[in-house]
């Protein structure tokens, strides 16, 4: 978007662009969301930036009224597969906090200097500044929702020193961490945690959102001991860099933050709760839950593209809040895809439960019916294949996948190159086009994946009179696939059963 498009979006208070860019005012040195209800400044005083980090680097601080740092992420980073998008996704996953900018650059195959130059050329700021902005956002969330000591919040958010933490909070919010916490509690927007060890989290999204349908999809495939869904709350274990955790998401967790402005509602949020072995995993857990729920999507863009399609229109009109369920762990999703080949959802869930019971890591603090984390790739690679509760060929494919991930011959994560990952998966024994594409859709968050050999897709297409060209659904074919599944008359157990055409 050029400045003129940004100005028109800002002038219309269009909430769809919250998170896509921020608008800064030179006379006040404040940056805001495009939908900020404050009086619009003169055009000559306005500047537009792709990220809050770029606005902060230019000397602007966050608006205290619209809280631009709490907006949902830009949908561009899910739609795009280039270097900058992969960089942003990895920063959101906390790679800079764990490995530094040099580790980030190494993952992407560039030198730190090259990476900084390429990212700065597009976003107006470098990877380190993007990571600092991410830390500040997470620090504010912890200050608002937990009773952790301020010093612990600094370490949990990824800051290397208390002084750096204090300076950055003051720079962005014009308040000290203690003042920010006091102001938040007084305003009734947060406060100390009530349940011991629990961290309540608000995850912003662009409405509409069919949270009940999304959690129902995940709940239908819940692995016993690892996931649970009772029709009201979806819970699952998380494998994180510093330990394990559990997230709980109620179906009634989608709430509106503020009244609507104009014709488009302000961003809303999903309530959830985290329990972490190590609070340093807070930012990574939030990022992965956001990907699981596809919360950075732009449903308005998807709806506008698919609503007039004769095949999909009824489903799109009935459910404009459709999201593509993601994954909290790429390796786990690949394992689940392999075990789900050519069997029913119930059958796959049973096999996965047995696999998790045998090789999964127990939680130090079980939560309800959640007892263990899904087995890691390292655990499966080291295991005796004869111990897998699977047919021999399926066990061979599972072992080959786990070994390839452990040896870093296959990368399945937020910074992975989607084409390279798909090609490397197809090179493994027992993995065909459906499995590789399904992993690309759910684990890599590609919004433009079509599954022509999927049982449910073929059944839905067979019920349609006349030819169908899936290319007309680009770049939203992943969403089109979900809508095709929804057009089936019943939510049968076999609705999404895969059929690998080229499975050995």
Whether 448 is in a domain gets the answer: no
Look at residue 501 and tell me whether its pLDDT is greater than 50: no
105 shares a domain with 57: no
Residues acting as catalytic residues: 32, 454
| Residue 185 binned pLDDT confidence (cut-offs 50, 70, 90) | low
Enter the tokens of residue 329.
């762990």
What pLDDT, in 10s, does the model give residues 195-213? 667 899 989 898 899 999 9
Domain containing residue 11: CATH number: 3.40.10.10
Strand arrangement of the beta sheet that strand 30-32 belongs to: 46-49, 22-25, 30-32, 61-62
Range of the domain at 52: 3-70
| Residue 184 binned pLDDT confidence (cut-offs 50, 70, 90) | low
Whether 201 is in a domain gets the answer: no
**What number is the average pLDDT over the span 369-394?**
89
| Residue 388 binned pLDDT confidence (cut-offs 50, 70, 90) | confident
Tell me which of 70, 96, 114 is where a domain ends.
70
Look at residue 275 and tell me whether its pLDDT is greater than 50: yes
77-80: long-range contacts at Cβ-Cβ below 8 A with a sequence spacing of 24 or more?
77/296, 78/294, 78/296, 78/297, 78/445, 78/447, 79/447, 79/448, 79/475
Number of folded domains that form the chain:
2
| pLDDT given at position 257 | 46
Percent of the chain with pLDDT strictly greater than 70:
91
What pLDDT, in 10s, does the model give residues 450-459? 999 998 899 9
Domain containing residue 135: CATH number: 1.10.10.60
| pLDDT given at position 84 | 92
Tell me which of 36, 70, 104 is where a domain ends.
70
Q: Is the peptide bond before 475 cis (omega within 30 degrees of 0)?
A: yes
Strand partners, 235: 228, 248
82 shares a domain with 21: no
177 shares a domain with 133: yes
103 shares a domain with 63: no
- In 52-211 the beta strands, taken as DSSP E runs, fall at 61-62, 198-205
* Rounded Cα gap, residues 425 and 437, in angstroms: 9
């Amino acid at each position: 978007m050029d400045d003129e498009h940004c100005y028109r979006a800002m002038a219309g208070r269009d909430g769809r662009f919250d998170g896509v860019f921020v608008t800064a005012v030179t006379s006040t040195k404040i940056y805001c969301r495009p939908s900020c209800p404050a009086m619009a400044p003169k055009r000559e005083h306005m500047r537009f930036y792709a990220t809050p980090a770029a606005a902060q680097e230019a000397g602007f601080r966050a608006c205290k009224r619209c809280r631009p740092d709490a907006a949902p992420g830009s949908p561009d980073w899910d739609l795009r597969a280039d270097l900058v998008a992969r960089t942003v996704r990895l920063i959101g996953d906390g790679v800079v906090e764990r490995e530094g900018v040099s580790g980030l650059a190494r993952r992407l195959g560039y030198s730190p200097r090259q990476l900084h130059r390429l990212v700065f050329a597009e976003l107006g700021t470098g990877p380190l500044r993007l990571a600092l902005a991410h830390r500040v956002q997470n620090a504010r969330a912890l200050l608002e929702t937990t009773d952790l000591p301020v010093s612990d919040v600094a370490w949990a958010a990824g800051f290397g020193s208390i002084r750096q933490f204090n300076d950055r909070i003051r720079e962005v919010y014009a308040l000290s961490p203690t003042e920010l916490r006091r102001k938040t509690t007084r305003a009734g927007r947060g406060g100390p945690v009530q349940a011991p060890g629990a961290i309540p989290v608000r995850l912003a999204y662009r409405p509409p959102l069919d949270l009940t349908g999304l959690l129902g999809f995940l709940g239908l495939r819940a692995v016993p001991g690892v996931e649970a869904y009772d029709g009201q709350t979806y819970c699952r274990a998380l494998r994180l860099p510093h330990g394990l955790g559990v997230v709980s998401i109620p179906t009634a967790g989608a709430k509106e933050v503020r009244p609507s402005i104009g014709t488009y509602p302000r961003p809303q949020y999903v309530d959830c709760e985290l329990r972490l072995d190590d609070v340093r995993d807070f930012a990574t857990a939030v990022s992965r839950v956001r990907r699981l729920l596809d919360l950075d999507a732009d449903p308005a863009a998807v709806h506008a593209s698919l609503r007039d399609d004769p095949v999909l229109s009824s489903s799109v009109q009935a459910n404009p809040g459709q999201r593509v369920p993601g994954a909290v762990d790429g390796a786990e999703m690949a394992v689940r895809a392999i075990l789900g080949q050519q069997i029913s959802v119930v059958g796959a869930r049973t096999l996965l439960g047995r696999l998790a019971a045998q090789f999964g890591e127990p939680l130090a603090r079980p939560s309800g019916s959640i007892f263990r984390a899904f087995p890691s790739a390292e655990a499966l690679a080291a295991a005796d294949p004869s111990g897998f509760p699977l047919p021999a060929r399926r066990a061979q494919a599972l072992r080959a996948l786990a070994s390839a991930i452990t040896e870093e011959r296959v990368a399945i994560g937020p910074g992975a190159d989607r084409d390279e990952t798909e090609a490397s998966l197809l090179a493994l024994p027992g993995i065909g086009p459906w499995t590789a594409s399904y992993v690309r859709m759910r684990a890599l968050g590609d919004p433009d994946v079509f599954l022509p050999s999927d049982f449910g897709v073929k059944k839905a297409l067979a019920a349609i009179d006349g030819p169908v060209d899936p290319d007309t659904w680009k770049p939203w074919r992943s969403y089109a696939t979900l809508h095709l599944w929804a057009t089936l008359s019943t939510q049968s157990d076999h609705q999404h059963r895969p059929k690998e055409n080229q499975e050995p």
